Homo-oligomer: A and B are copies of this chain.
């Protein structure tokens, strides 16, 4: 077996991983947005029938996994492994959703890059012949995030123009060596980049340098360029972060302009929905990938995308201690079937 490594930070799976099914769950505001028709399960109840918002997040992951298995035509018992994580302290959305299911679980923390991180690890697992039905999953919830990272909702804190709106939603994708669907053809692991941004209400700017670093690494490792992709989809820089990324790229003479789109910009209608700089949260890129993007890839409306999950690796503690916000970005190249 030859090395599967490509360049410095990237690899190609030995066995071809195929995304054979995907499912998503979304809240009310998300369902009213431009991607509303691409969600499998929608709810107007921010509690999703649970007692707390944290439990709602757990339940969204349960619903996403259930919908995923239904769409894949398998039972949950047939899942070999779930890679998942979320934004809640100690990732309780993920661990509680899998309690007593008997499904092997590896927990991740990549902040809002988690959908890309879980997909990359699922590709590695399937590509190495370790397990064959591997789910990649994540979630976020506006209300649980607000109270954990910022203020209690009842406080009615004013949001700054650069603030993003945490998406209430969960997404799950099934990666397998057998079956039909979009293919994962190359992955790039990100490094932790920190340019000193300290404003927890401007996470787009904090993440943009890491997005550029990973996109550049992917181009270099695979000897490819923006023109080779239909879309380079970051998730979730939002409007401010996307502009920052384009500016940073231009300074280095890289023309990303026509190819870049961002899950945080796609998910809400900024004119009608008053979300300031766009969407954020692990759930943002998860519901966009596990709906809009994979739908289009499976119908060949898109042929090749670079899905770049971006995460702001702050915590309320690091913010209180006046530390900057490190960013990370992992990239997964997905090709239509």
Contact = CB atoms under 8 A, between A and B. Distances in A.
Given A106-B189, A326-B99, A14 B111 contact: no
Contacts of A117: 106-107
Interface stretch (A165-173, A298-306, A310-318): A310-318
Interface of A is mostly: loop
A98 B192 contact: yes
B14 A104 contact: no
A11 interface: yes
Contacts of A315: 88-90, 92
B107 A318 contact: no
A99 B194 contact: yes
A95 B15 CA distance: 31
B102 A191 contact: yes
A96 interface: yes
A192 B323 contact: no
A326 B96 contact: yes
Interface in A172-217: 189-194
Range for the number of chain A residues in contact with chain B: 35 or more
Number of copies: 2
A38 interface: no
Interface string A106-117: 111111000001
Interface in A27-85: 51-52, 54-55, 80-81, 85
Contacts of A127: 128
Contacts of A92: 313-315, 317-318
A148 B106 CA distance: 23
A135 B186 CA distance: 22
A2 B1 CA distance: 11
A59 to B, nearest CB: 13
Interface of A: 1-5, 8-9, 11, 14-15, 51-52, 54-55, 80-81, 85, 87-92, 95-96, 98-111, 117, 120-121, 124-125, 127-132, 148, 189-194, 313-318, 321, 323, 326, 328, 330
10 contacts: A5-B132, A52-B321, A54-B318, A54-B321, A55-B323, A92-B317, A96-B323, A99-B193, A124-B124, A124-B125
